[in-house]
Amino acid sequence: MDHLIHRLNNSRNVLITTHASPDGDAIGSLLAMNLALRGKHKQITLYNESPIPAVYRFLPGVHSVINQMNSAAPFDTAVVLDCGDLQRVGDAARIINQIPEIINIDHHITNTRFGTCQMIDVQACACTEILYHLFERMHVPFTRELATCIYTGILTDTGSFRFSNTNRTTFQICENMVARGVDPFQVAQHVYGTYSLGRIKLLNLALDSIEISENGKVSLMALTRAMLNETGTQPEDSDGMINYARRIQDVKIAVLIQEQTNGGDRSLGQRRPYHVSLRSDGSVDVAAIAAMFGGGGHQSAAGFSIESTLTEIKDQILQMTKSI
């Protein structure tokens, strides 16, 4: 850790980034690192390829996140957060690769250890947990704003303290963050309490799409572009819906196949770009399944991207999970 702190302290012009289609932990981490380094008078640029989901736009500093990056030239250091591999950042990975110092801070079991300096803790419930320990060591003051970013990352990556990554440290950190002024009700209202009507209608379509495998152990949920259009929703609005498929009695693996709204040119023919999310009840390692498709993640929550057809993806997954 001290090596990494030394490099952070020596940096001057820093690009901070996280994975495309960011979740609460990705954005919490991005903005927490921003606040910590700003306090140390660094020149900071925040980058994310995707729009920031509406539910996270209450977080401090969120409006300075840019989604265009043309050159690596200004930066001496990149800090890449909550990414198992650099490609998770999206197309900008190519540019980021040219930055001399690349600091990789993450908690995914499939982390490729990319970059020039790593801090990887697969036991951490969220990337913001790793940042908490880091900032403690760096003597960064935990202001209410910083605490809110850290708390939001943990809240969302633990599924509101319900997933198997929730432990004593989770609560100890959150207790500390609440002591620094975080209002759990306010955060919950932003993150979970303000859904558009379209999002609820989309949930209806998602629930209706659920299919169960012959042995009852795999549930499949599918969302298409047409469903987003019909309900006037964005890809981010499907967040959390897979948990309904996961909760079904006897189900060990839940799968959400979501058609992407970008890409998919004519050369693909009938095939389209999809993002596939996998969740398990803890008894099956879905990160290993995702890795077979070129993705990754955690033991109970993983994902991958693929260009294919809905039927083919379903068939492949059912075939692969037949013996569980």
Confirm or reject binding of residue 25 to Mn ion (CB under 5 A): yes
Q: Smallest distance, Å, CB 276 to ligand AMP? A: 7
CB 258 within 8 A of CB 223: yes
Residues 16 and 7: their CA atoms lie apart, in Å, by: 14
Q: Smallest distance, Å, CB 56 to ligand AMP? A: 14
Q: How many residues bind Mn ion (CB under 5 A)?
A: 6
Count of C-beta atoms within a 10 Å radius of residue 122: 14
Q: In the sheet that 296-297 helps form, which strands lie side by side, from edge to edge?
A: 211-212, 218-223, 253-259, 272-280, 301-308, 296-297
Give the position of tokens 């399944």: 289
Which residue stretch of 82-90, 142-150, 246-254, 280-288 sits at the interface with Mn ion (rule: CB under 5 A)?
A: 82-90
Residues 6+ apart with CB under 8 A from 246: 219, 254, 279, 280, 281
Q: Smallest distance, Å, CB 108 to ligand AMP? A: 6
Choice between 81 and 182, CB closer to ligand AMP: 81
CB 13 within 8 A of CB 20: no
Q: Smallest distance, Å, CB 290 to ligand AMP? A: 6
Choice between 61 and 295, CB closer to ligand AMP: 295
Choice between 106 and 147, CB closer to ligand AMP: 106
Confirm or reject binding of residue 235 to ligand AMP (CB under 6 A): no
Confirm or reject binding of residue 296 to ligand AMP (CB under 6 A): yes
Query: Residue 142's beta-bridge partner residues?
Result: none
Give the position of tokens 């759990």: 184
Handedness of CA 14, 19, 22, 28 (dihedral sign): negative
Confirm or reject binding of residue 42 to ligand AMP (CB under 6 A): no
Q: Smallest distance, Å, CB 260 to ligand AMP? A: 11
Confirm or reject binding of residue 34 to ligand AMP (CB under 6 A): no
Confirm or reject binding of residue 305 to ligand AMP (CB under 6 A): yes
Residues 307 and 271: their CA atoms lie apart, in Å, by: 6
Q: Which of residues 123-162 bind Mn ion (CB under 5 A)?
A: 127, 157
Buried b (16+ CB within 10 A) or exposed e, 124-145: bbbbbbbbbebbeebebebeeb
DSSP strand pairing (218-223 vs 211-212): antiparallel
Selected from 22, 24, 53, 297, the binder of ligand AMP by CB under 6 A is 297
Q: Mark residues 187-226: x for contact with ligand AMP by CB under 6 A, - for none.
A: ----------------------------------------
Selected from 80, 228, 245, 302, the binder of ligand AMP by CB under 6 A is 302
Q: Which residues bind ligand AMP (CB under 6 A)?
A: 84, 88, 108, 277, 295-298, 301-305
